[in-house]
Structures are given as structure tokens and as C-alpha cells.
Amino acid sequence: MEFQQQAVRVCENIRTITGVYCTLLDMQTKRFCKLPFRQSCTLENGVCSANTAHHAGCAEASRWNGRYMYRCPCGYMFVAVSLRQLRQAEYGLIVGPFILSNSRTSHSIQMESEPIPCLTMEQARALGETVQAVCAHLAGSRQMSVSDSDVQQEALYTMCSMTQRQERISYPIEEERRLQQLIRSGEKNKAQQLLNDLLLELYLAGGNDLLMLKLRIRDLITLMSRAATDSGADVAEVLALCDRSVIEIDRMRDFDSLDAWLGAMLHHFFDLVFDFNDAKHQTVIRQVSAYIQERLSEKLTLEQVAGEVHLSKSYLCRILKEELGCTFTEYTNRLRIERSKTYLHRSAMSLSEIACAVGFDDQSYFTRIFKRIVGMPPGKYRANNLSA
């Protein structure tokens, strides 16, 4: 049987077993191999037309360890699972719509044409894990191991048993702590997977309360930022990202824009933290970064910094070029600009005072470098953030 036909058959089986609709998206042609679900909330002729949201969900799944949960513009939840045939086509399996519910009793909300299933957070997670295991087996990336089989069996058991138990859902503080530990220890894949699970918890706890969801996401970003700085990531860059996130999240006015922003921001965060940690010469780079940041207001030379880390000037230049893609001067200017953003956010210092504080000779040179790196002059940057 052709690979695409097999995948469509998997979609049909998933719906038969779980009652949750499942469809298949060809990531290359951007077309559905099986029509999206039909129900009365949709925008065009009873067929879901939220193609942008579904395409984005599948793209995120391929970047986030193969699985990603998202919300459509109508507020329903979906799980996208990446399905890639070796050296050939790439597809996205989309499971949904469903509604996250605090109730342990399985039920559905009847719309005009089709019922929308209500799942608990545990059921949604179990469904995603099971579909991901099936997709990995179908794609032929590897034979399903005993551990994979155990995961699938446990996930199916969880789904079946949820309707039998009555338990109070509590917010997963312990999982937040474990996420911090994974970030500190540099375990990127495990941290990504746990973050996906935590986001499920956030959506469940927030329900349809956009303000509550934004507050919980902001708290999670702060928690992750602390762990990132503990792991040795660039403090100025992490703080700048955290500051920008607080401002940007307040601008979100609906779940759709919040989901899109959150996915992009978390990718930026993980690149910032883990790409830095994965550098071949991370110890040297950390020492160089720490030394420069402690002396940003001073006139620093390549010879001075190379001597501090006991390397020749040429070798240090090569490390910076290979690992960070920039020269010593460019890297120093990046650190200075990131520090200046903090001053622009948090102080009433004039531009000339900020230029001096971060080590630029004069305000005009500071403004020129700031505009080159950030894309706008510092005065406009400060005004935009104040207005926000």
C-alpha cells in the first residue's frame, strides 16, 4: 500500500478508536490528503478553513520533537504530529478538534453537524504520544522498540482509565522544577518534550481565560530565564528576551496570535540557551563573555581579552568566528547593545549617558551601531516600548 494511503488509513483508525477527528496534510504541496473536519463553527461551506493555523501547527511539530499542540481561531484544540518518510515526503497528522476539560468524565459537545470531544489534559497527552509512536513506526525511521511499545500501551491505558477515575487536577509545580533542571543540565530534547506537556497544563488551567493564560505563560518564561542564566547562557541576552516577552505578550488580543507568538518566542529562547551551550569552545566563550560584560564601560582590546583566557589573538578570533559567526569587535558591540536595551527599558538615562555606560565613544557612534544591530535608533526603540 502506498505510504500516503497508509497514513490516511491511520487517520481513519485513530478516529474510529478515539472518536477524535484526524486528517493528513502534505507539507510540500500544502494540501490536505484527507479533508479537514466538518462542523458548524467553520468559515466556508461547513469545511474548516483555518489552513494557516493547521499548516503552522504541522511546521511547529517538525521542529518540536515531532509533536505540537495548538488552538485554532475558533478556540478548539489540535495536536499535530510530524510524519516523515525517509528521504521522501513529509506530512503532518492533525488530530482534532477537541476541547480541554477539567472533568474526568468523557463527553462531547454536540454541534449542528458533528460532536466535539472533550478530553482531559492526560487524555490529550496520551493521544498525542500514541499517535506519535504510530507515526514513527509507519515512517520506518526505526522499528518500534520495547520501550516505545510500553509508552504506547501506557498512553492507551491512560486514555481508557480516565473515564473511571475522579481526581482533582493540580498545577504541576514539580514538572516546572524538572524543566528548570533540564535547562540547567543542557538536555535540550527532554526539555522541549516536557515544555510541550507543561503547555498542555497551562491551556487546561487557563481554559478560555486569555488573561489568565497570559499570566501563566509570563510566569513560565521568567522561571525558564532563571534556569537559563544558571546554566551559563548570556545573562544580558536572556534578560533582554524576558523583558521583550513581557511587553509583547501584553499586546496579544486573542488565542491565535498568542499561540503564534509563543511558538516563535520559545524557539528563540531554546536557540539562545542550547546553541550557546553546544558550542565546542563554550568554556572559553563564557569566560570571554563574562570578562567583557564586567568591563563594558571600559576600552577593551582583543589582546587584553585573549590574554585573560590565555589564548593567542588569532586563535581567539578563530573561535569567535567559528562558534558565533562574528569578529571580536562585532561580539563586543552585540553585548554592549544588549546591555543598552536594559537601560532603555529600565532607566531614565539619556542616550549620551547610556552610550558612555556601555563603552561607546560618543552618542552618534552608539546610535549608528544600535540601528545596525536592532533595526531602529535607540530613541525610537525606547519610545515604542514606552507606548506599549
Residue 134 belongs to a domain with what CATH number?
A: 3.30.450
Contact by Cβ (8 Å): 272, 378: no
Q: Which of 124, 147, 169 is the last residue of a domain?
A: 169
* Grid cell locating 30: 500544502
Q: Quick check: 72 pLDDT over 60?
A: yes
pLDDT per residue as tens digits for the range 313-368: 888 898 898 888 899 999 999 999 999 998 888 888 899 999 999 999 889 999 99
Q: Tell whether 88 and 159 lie within a shared domain.
A: yes
End-of-domain residue from the set 141, 169, 197: 169
- The kind and range of the H/E element at 67 are strand 67-71
Do 16 and 162 sit in the same domain of this protein? yes
Q: Name which of 112-116, 144-148, 227-231, 333-337 the model is least confident about.
A: 144-148
Asked whether residue 334 falls in the same domain as residue 216, the answer is no
Cell numbers found for residue 49? 478553513
How many residues does this entry show for the chain? 388
State which of 278, 301, 324 marks the end of a domain: 278
139 & 223 share domain: no
The pLDDT, as a whole number, for residue 41 is 54
Model pLDDT, residue 107: 46
Residue 43: pLDDT above 60?
no
Please, which residues bridge with residue 247 across strands?
none
**Does residue 212 surpass a pLDDT of 90?**
no
Q: What is the pLDDT of residue 18?
A: 82
CATH number of the domain enclosing 321:
1.10.10.60
Do 130 and 155 meet the contact criterion of CB atoms below 8 Å apart?
Answer: yes
Please choose, from the candidates 316, 359, 319, 352, the residue with its C-alpha nearest in 3D space to the C-alpha of residue 337: 359
**Overall domain count for the chain:** 3
Closest CA to 267 of 122, 56, 30: 56
Q: Percent of the chain scored above 70 by pLDDT?
A: 78
Residues 208, 199: Cα–Cα separation, whole Å: 14
Percent of the chain at pLDDT > 90 equals 13
Q: Which of 138 and 349 is assigned the larger pLDDT?
A: 349
Q: What is d(CA 177, CA 354) in angstroms, rounded to the nearest whole number? A: 37
- The H or E element containing residue 130 is helix 121-139
pLDDT higher than 80, residue 252: yes
Query: Domain check: are 236 and 146 in the same one?
Result: no
21 contacts 13 by C-beta, under 8 angstroms = no
- The DSSP letter of residue 167 is -
- pLDDT value, residue 185: 74
My answer on whether 128 and 109 are in the same domain is yes
Q: Locate 368 and state its grid cell.
A: 549608528
In a shared domain, residues 104 and 2 = yes
Backbone angles phi, psi at 200, to 5 degrees: -60, -45
Q: Name the least confident of 46-50, 179-183, 210-214, 334-338.
A: 46-50
CA-CA distance, 325 to 114, in Å (whole number)?
A: 53
pLDDT above 50: residue 15: yes
Task: Tell me, yes or no, whether 225 and 351 share the same domain.
Answer: no
The better pLDDT of the pair 388, 257 is held by: 257
Give residue-wise pLDDT tens across range 253-302: 887 778 778 877 887 788 777 766 555 577 788 889 889 988 988 889 99
**Model confidence band, residue 303 (pLDDT cutoffs 50, 70, 90):** very high
Coarse DSSP helix, strand, coil percentages of the chain, rounded to the nearest 5 percent: 60, 10, 25
**pLDDT (mean) for 170-182:** 76
What pLDDT is stored for residue 154 in this prediction? 52
Burial status of residue 33 (CB atoms within 10 A of its CB: 0-12, 13-18, 19 or more) = middle
Is 374 found in the same domain as 266?
no
Measured between alpha carbons, how far is residue 240 from residues 83, 106, 216, 224, 339 in Å?
36, 44, 19, 13, 8
Per-residue pLDDT tens for 22-34? 888 888 888 888 7
Domain extent, residue 54, equals 1-169
Residues 239 and 274 in one domain: yes
Tell me the whole-structure pTM to 2 decimals. 0.44
Closest to 132 measured CA to CA, from 176, 67, 202? 67
Verify that 148 and 236 share a domain, yes or no.
no
Average pLDDT, the chain: 77
With bands split at pLDDT 50, 70 and 90, how would you rate the model's confidence at 48?
A: low
For residue 227, give the nearest of 278, 271, 185 by alpha carbon: 185
Rounded Cα distance between 319 and 12, Å, is 53
pLDDT at 103: 46
- On whether both 290 and 272 belong to a single domain, the answer is no
Cα 170–chain centre separation: 23
